[in-house]
Structure 1
Amino acid sequence: MSLFLKVARQDNYLYYIFFKTLLETGMRKGEAAALQRKDIDLKNNYININKSLDFQVKEGEDVFGETKTYESERRIKISNSLSRELTAHMNYLNDNRIVFNGFMNMNWIFF
């Protein structure tokens, strides 16, 4: 594990899993932030990229938008290691559902 990820894990678990996903997949931050459970196939170790989160959304607009380009919609193979960590992360979200209630949509992987 890189020093960056070690420090991120010590500082904040949610930063760690977000950055680990970015580093291992090459996704843009908006693509990762828009990930929902239905976009991740843990059985076959794939992530489907089909939307992006707009960090500069105006009031009344949808926070999800299209990917940067048409070619940005893709299916990414993920490592067994990342698949295991994302499984653990989704279990963490389930276990802490009451704590996060009101702060996140439980379908989102990162919030």
Structure 2
Amino acid sequence: MTNIGKLWLLSRPDHGPARLAKQLKDRFGRIKKRVTWFCAAWKEANSLWASGENDVDLMKRAEQIYENDHKIDGPFMFKHFWEVLRKEPKWDAYLQHLELELDKRKISDDEDVDKFSL
């Protein structure tokens, strides 16, 4: 059994059903995608920080940005996951890796479009 599976078994209520590792991985995959989206919204909200604002104001702005960017997906429902993950060094490294990947894919305005073929 995976570490995720063991942690889930320890934290679940006694009457809850057992889960397969694939079920846990699939669920975490969906959660991870939305938490990553929220991290981007948080980063944008943090860059717009105004004098006199507190963390509550920042959270409200980040939630608004998330909802505007992901209207189809609805409001951000994984704040408790984000609170835990944002303090983890491994999660921070994952986000930095994503940013590097995005930077590699960006095309500058100065580059000729004809250099790229599909």
**Taking structure 2 as the reference length, what is the TM-score of the superposition?**
0.32
Between Structure 1 and Structure 2, the one with more strand by share is 1
Q: Which has the higher contact order (CA 8 A, sep 6+)?
A: 1
The structure whose residues are more often helix, as a share, is 2
Higher-Rg structure is 2
TM-score with structure 1 setting the length: 0.34
